[in-house]
Amino acid sequence: MSSRQTLSSSSQTAASRGGCLIRFMLPPIAAVCIGALLMVISLSTTMDPVFAKNQKSEASPAISPIFTPEVQYWASRIQVWATAAGLDPNLVATVMQIESCGDRGALSRSGAIGLFQVMPYHFSAGDDPYKPDTNARRGLDYLSRSMDAAKGNPRLALAGYNGGIGVIGMRESTWANETQRYVYWGSGIYAEAAGSAYESPRLQEWLVSNGTYLCRLAHNRLGINP
């Protein structure tokens, strides 16, 4: 009789005695019953509210649904980058939204580069400024420093990101017009994202004002289907 047939015969014998793993010659008090063990596992994973909560949390999106598809494309990376920088993923997504709309190849007239529109002098020798991980690391390091200087105030941190950390201690009325506009768009979008909104009037306003063209470039570069 083959070993497979022997195993089958032994399994049938075990099944006739209740399906327990007595083949392993464990003491009766330590014998483990497969059916009972599976039932315990099934009940614990189904009924444990902590387990259910954790499963739900893992399935949750990394960023708010208000952001455009081009930014959503980077959602999982945004979560990783934000965690590494100690920042709220929705704040990181807000900066990406108004800086590049997710266009990794973006280049501004002032020379700002990539997803987070980082100025060239923030990169080290040997850096590829268009590489998403590198661009994020340099850009979010500056955003993190801005947040520290702003003592956790995201509005002021956004001003520092755009106008330089030095503007954080200045009166808003002295900020450059570009910085004032940047803070208007960014603080509004971030507030709606952080507030669990399902749509963002401020983001729609930004798109109408100057964002649609930026997002079209990102859309084409990323190859997102219409």
Q: Which of 99, 178, 192, 199 is catalytic?
A: 99
Dump pLDDT digits (tens) for 160-219: 999 999 999 999 999 999 999 999 999 999 999 999 889 999 999 999 998 999 999 999
CA distance 192 to 197: 5
Domain 61-222: give its CATH code.
1.10.530.10
- 106 is written with which tokens? 């973006």
Query: What's the rounded Cα separation, in Å, for the pair 86 and 18?
Result: 54
Contact (Cβ atoms closer than 8 angstroms) between residue 133 and residue 75: no
pLDDT of residue 52: 34
Query: Rounded to an integer, what distance in angstroms lies between the CA atom of residue 146 and that of residue 164?
Result: 8
Residues of the chain under the 50 pLDDT cut: 1-60
Both tokens of 221, joined, read: 């570069």
Structure tokens at 37: 């063990």
Nearest-Å Rg of the Cα atoms of the chain is 27
User: What's the pLDDT score for residue 61?
Assistant: 67
Q: Does residue 71 contact residue 90 with C-beta atoms inside 8 Å?
A: no
Locate the domains of the chain by residue range: 3-58, 61-222
Verify whether residue 99 is a known catalytic residue.
Answer: yes
Q: Say if CB 91 and CB 142 are below 8 A apart.
A: no
pLDDT (0 to 100) of residue 157: 98
Q: What is the pLDDT of residue 10?
A: 38
Q: Is 113 helix (H, G, I), strand (E, B) or coil?
A: strand
CB of 149 closer than 8 Å to CB of 167:
no
Q: For position 39, what pLDDT does the model report?
A: 41
Single-letter residue type at 22: I
At 48 the pLDDT is 35
Residue with tokens 């268009």: 130
Residue 75 and residue 69: Cα distance in Å, rounded? 10
Instruction: Cite the DSSP H helix spans in 25-131.
Output: 34-47, 49-59, 69-72, 75-85, 89-99
Backbone region of residue 53 per phi and psi (left: phi > 0; alpha: psi in -120 to 50; beta: other values): alpha
- Decide: 87 and 147 in contact? Cβ < 8 Å: yes
Helix (H) or strand (E) holding 194: helix 177-194
